[in-house]
Chain A
């Protein structure tokens, strides 16, 4: 039903291991691949290839970040779409701004891990409902921004063309306050650190942010 590809099982301020355990407790069947799992992708397979290798066997794949920080999202989200699985996202990336509606499932759209588990089991048993998560493919195709250096270069050229070359920015007078907080004017921390037993109230977890 669901796969989890994970290479680092120790580094996890987000407590994602515990979230996976909680989903299993609520009868979601999960196979774990990679350094920390019972299952392995083939030797030659690495990064995105592992996703493609297993895509025929799983409806969902976890895109669970090791940190819950403002906007933080990694290539796992792309790998899921690229391989042809529905990503279940656990993180603070703005996924609804990055991807079409009804293309993915966000853990924080649910009240509790129990409710999330029940929804996944419902989709597993109702192919019609599950396939609604594939409809976006009628209208979009997904590409990787693998050429990030080129994109950055273009963006920098545009910044340099601005009259003040961005020198008027006061945002980074103290870069640490920008980096550690959601904005420079609030002291809401950019990251949240769940306690392992807090997954039965996902909304109170996210409301602290």
Chain B
């Protein structure tokens, strides 16, 4: 199927194997990457992110990375 293409193939899967259990057949060896909830997928995007609201200024020094982040 991919003989005529050098483009990488990405398979996205968002349901669990309990709901997508049918064999992949000849598509089984088609894909280079996956996009799924599995953390070992090349494309892994969790549903949520926690953003720190405070910078740790414990080692605050002018010119330091933390200081530059404030500027």
- Which of A's residues lie within 8 Å of B, judged by CB? 11, 13, 65-67, 69-75, 77-78, 81, 93-94, 97-100, 136, 138-145, 148, 151-152, 155-156, 159-160, 165-167, 169, 171-176, 178-180, 190-191, 193
Contact = CB atoms under 8 A, between A and B. Distances in A.
B3 interface: no
B45 A145 contact: yes
29 contacts: A13-B18, A71-B37, A71-B38, A72-B37, A73-B37, A75-B47, A78-B47, A139-B54, A141-B50, A145-B45, A152-B35, A155-B43, A159-B8, A159-B33, A166-B32, A167-B8, A169-B32, A169-B33, A171-B40, A172-B33, A173-B29, A175-B24, A175-B29, A179-B17, A179-B20, A180-B21, A191-B16, A191-B17, A191-B18
A180 B29 contact: no
Majority DSSP secondary structure for residues of B touching A = loop
Nearest to A168: B32
Contact of B18 (A69, A78, A99): A69
A17 B47 CA distance: 24
Contacts of B8: 159-160, 165-167
A97 B4 CA distance: 41
Size band of the interface chain B makes with A: 35 or more
B34 A166 contact: no
B48 A98 contact: yes
B57 interface: no
Nearest to A183: B40
Contacts of B30: 175
Given A140-B52, A142-B49, A175 B34 contact: yes
A74 B47 contact: yes
Given A166-B32, A175-B28, A69 B17 contact: yes
Contacts of B40: 171
Contacts of A141: 50-51, 53
B50 A142 contact: yes
Contact of B29 (A70, A152, A174): A174
